[in-house]
Structure 1
Amino acid sequence: MKDIASVSSKRPINCYLDGSYCRYNEAIFSSDGKETMQLLNDRLASYLEKVKSLEKENTDLERKIREWQECQTPLVCTDFSSCYSTTEELQQQICSARAENARLRLDIDIVKVASDDFSFKYEYECGLCQSAEADISSLHRFLDDLTLCKTDLETELESLTEELLCLRKNHEEEASPLRHQLGDCINVELDTAPSCDLNKVLEEIRCQYETLIEKNQCEVEDWYHTQMEELNKEVISDEEQLQGCQNEIIQLKHTVQALEIDLQTQHSLNTALESTLTDTEARYSHQLSELQCLISNMEAQLAELRSNIQHQNSEYKVLLDVKSQLDCEISAYRRLLDEEDCKAYHTSDTQTQIC
């Protein structure tokens, strides 16, 4: 026993009491066993109370954690696949509607171009009709003038014919008595050389002049026809050139209108694509902000969980230290009990020997 006490008196014991460590020498245990037992009992009771209080705090902490977890929204990400599919379908419908709208605008523009073309053709035909009506009215006026001139010439011809008949009648009336008078008084005989027939000469001259007149008339008519043909050719060529220029102008107008329609369509398509891009950017930015908020919440929850885990780890380490100290003290307490039992046994044995 003395050896054990001497050995135990050299080794200190670390004790944890009310949150602080204490160092006791085992010599105290050997000096007064009852006081040591009382001290150990008090310390054990305080340790048990400390353990109960820690268990209660742990239970309260677990309850608070469960309540907090129940109050918090679950960390499971919301499944937006149905919303995405619905949104994609709506976007496809919007794109198809925009394409149909652009196609209808193109058809409307094409119809407008055709209407403008028909309006231009109608105006051109109206101009031609007006010019033809003006030509017809001018020809009617010219025909009326010719009719009036013909009537005047016929009237003048009738008057001249009547005057000629009157002159012939008067000439016959005046010449017939003179012939009778001359025929009765004068009988002139001329012995002259035979002369040429004057009527024949006049007829030949008349034929020559008529031939010359016909020749000149034919030449004039040929020249007139040649000039008219040349003028007609020039007019036809000018009309063809004018028609070609008009057709080219119409084609250029159609080309310009088609290009303008194409440009408007491209502008509409560009506007639609820009609107779609803006909507897509807004939608994805909203989704990104939601995801960032979710990530921030998850990071905050993770940081809180880490702090809770660290706090629990620190408490767990403290409890492990307390457990180890309790194990040490329980072993010391058990050793002291064994020593008391040994002392009691030796005392009873000594008393038995004395008796």
Structure 2
Amino acid sequence: MEFVGREEDFDPVAQQLASSEDEGRADENEAADQRPVEPEVTVIQILLASRSNTKTVLDIDNAKLASEDFKMNYAKEQAMRMAVEADISGLRRVLDDMNLGRSDLEMQYEGLKDELIMLKRSHQVEIALVKTHVGSQVNVSVDAAPSQDLNAAMTEIRKHYESVAIKNRKELEAWYQGKLATVEIEVMTNNEQLKSSLEPTLADTQKRYSAQLAGLQSMVTSLELQLSQLHANIAHNKQEYDMFLNLKTRLELEIAENRRLLDGEDDSSTQGRW
């Protein structure tokens, strides 16, 4: 009876040891169930973080490239604008020279017209003086020699001064026509020179603008292609990101389900112990 009583004293200790062993085995099983999951989750998280960082770096690089392209385009457009302004300034100077030349020619033409008017007036005055002088000579001749043939003398004198007047008029008209022809030749020469000087400038300007426009068009086409490629890359990265996000969600659900099952087994084992 005494030995049996000692065994009964050891029964609670044995039961505690058995319970501790069961709990240890349950913890080992739970740890064993969780060991393969945690490394996998860590790898997925690393992959997702790496993918996100790679996408961020690509976006930053693309933004830098786009910014550099815009800066280059701005510099080219600035240079083209300065060239256009320089050409416009040169054409304005040429136009000012043309206007000055035209004003000078108009002033010369007006001066010639005034000079012609003055010459005509002077010629008329000379004719009037000649007529007055001839009349006085006729009166003297009549008083001195009444028997002289006055009609013949008057006719001869009239013919002489008429021939002189015609000669002077012809010389004046010839001089005026010569001056006018000279001015017209100068105007035509200046116009031809101006036209000859402007045509190469305009041709060069048109050629340069055509080349610049072609370059800008090719640049715009290249930028559009780059932008399309960037959109495609962004769409592809978003698709991959969504795929990894779905995978992460499924893994989290599986992990939650495993934990729920493990928690249920723990509850069952705990209730079984009690």
TM-score (norm 2): 0.59
Cα distance, 1:299–1:91 mapped onto 2, change above 3 Å:
same
Is the counterpart of residue 95 in structure 1 residue 99 in structure 2?
Answer: yes
Alignment partner, residue 320 of structure 1: 238
Query: What whole-Å deviation, never above 9, does each CA across 1:250-290 have from its counterpart, x for those lacking one?
Result: 31332233123222212211222333344444444444344
Query: What whole-Å deviation, never above 9, does each CA across 1:15-49 have from its counterpart, x for those lacking one?
Result: xxxxxxxxxxxxxxxxx997677666545533433
Q: Which stretch shifts more, 62-71 or 307-316? A: 62-71
Alignment partner, residue 179 of structure 2: 261
One-letter code aligned to 1:257: W
Query: What whole-Å deviation, never above 9, does each CA across 1:72-92 have from its counterpart, x for those lacking one?
Result: 625346366687467535632
Alignment partner, residue 163 of structure 1: none
Question: What CA distance in whole angstroms lies between the structure 1 residues aligned with 2:45 and 2:239?
Answer: 15
Question: What CA distance in whole angstroms lies between the structure 1 residues aligned with 2:37 and 2:240?
Answer: 20
One-letter code aligned to 2:52: V
Is the counterpart of residue 251 in structure 1 residue 169 in structure 2?
Answer: yes
Cα distance, 1:60–1:82 mapped onto 2, change above 3 Å:
closer
One-letter code aligned to 1:350: S
Higher relative contact order, structure no. (Cα contacts within 8 Å, ≥ 6 residues apart): 2
Aligned 1:288-327 pairs, distance under 5 A: 288-327=206-245
Cα distance, 1:75–1:351 mapped onto 2, change above 3 Å:
farther
Cα RMSD (Å) of the superposition? 4.2
After TM superposition, give the deviation of residue 321 of structure 1 in Å.
Answer: 0.6
Choose the corresponding residue for 2:257, options 322, 339, 348: 339
Question: What CA distance in whole angstroms lies between the structure 2 residues aligned with 1:278 and 1:99?
Answer: 20
Contact 2:51 / 2:241 at 8 angstroms: preserved in 1?
Answer: no
Query: What whole-Å deviation, never above 9, does each CA across 1:150-187 have from its counterpart, x for those lacking one?
Result: xxxxxxxxxxxxxxxxxxxxxxxxxxxxxxxxxxxxxx
Contact 1:40 / 1:333 at 8 angstroms: preserved in 2?
Answer: yes
After TM superposition, give the deviation of residue 62 of structure 1 in Å.
Answer: 3.4
Alignment partner, residue 161 of structure 1: none
Structure 2: unaligned runs, 5 residues or longer: 1-32, 120-145
Question: What CA distance in whole angstroms lies between the structure 1 residues aligned with 2:36 and 2:167?
Answer: 128
After TM superposition, give the deviation of residue 238 of structure 1 in Å.
Answer: 3.7
Aligned 1:100-119 pairs, distance under 5 A: 100=104, 103=107
- Alignment size in residue pairs: 212
Aligned 1:1-355 pairs, distance under 5 A: 42-70=43-71, 73=75, 75-76=77-78, 78=81, 84=88, 88=92, 91-93=95-97, 95-97=99-101, 99-100=103-104, 103=107, 229=149, 233-355=151-273
After TM superposition, give the deviation of residue 96 of structure 1 in Å.
Answer: 1.7
After TM superposition, give the deviation of residue 306 of structure 1 in Å.
Answer: 1.2
After TM superposition, give the deviation of residue 297 of structure 1 in Å.
Answer: 3.3
Question: What CA distance in whole angstroms lies between the structure 2 residues aligned with 1:53 and 1:316?
Answer: 12
One-letter code aligned to 2:184: Q
Question: What CA distance in whole angstroms lies between the structure 2 residues aligned with 1:47 and 1:285?
Answer: 61
After TM superposition, give the deviation of residue 318 of structure 1 in Å.
Answer: 0.4
Cα distance, 1:36–1:75 mapped onto 2, change above 3 Å:
farther
Question: What CA distance in whole angstroms lies between the structure 2 residues aligned with 1:300 and 1:70?
Answer: 16
SS at match of 1:256: helix
Contact 2:41 / 2:251 at 8 angstroms: preserved in 1?
Answer: yes
Question: What CA distance in whole angstroms lies between the structure 2 residues aligned with 1:256 and 1:39?
Answer: 114
Contact 1:37 / 1:333 at 8 angstroms: preserved in 2?
Answer: no
One-letter code aligned to 1:48: A
Identity of aligned residues (%): 6
Cα distance, 1:305–1:74 mapped onto 2, change above 3 Å:
same
SS at match of 1:75: helix
One-letter code aligned to 2:255: L
After TM superposition, give the deviation of residue 319 of structure 1 in Å.
Answer: 1.2
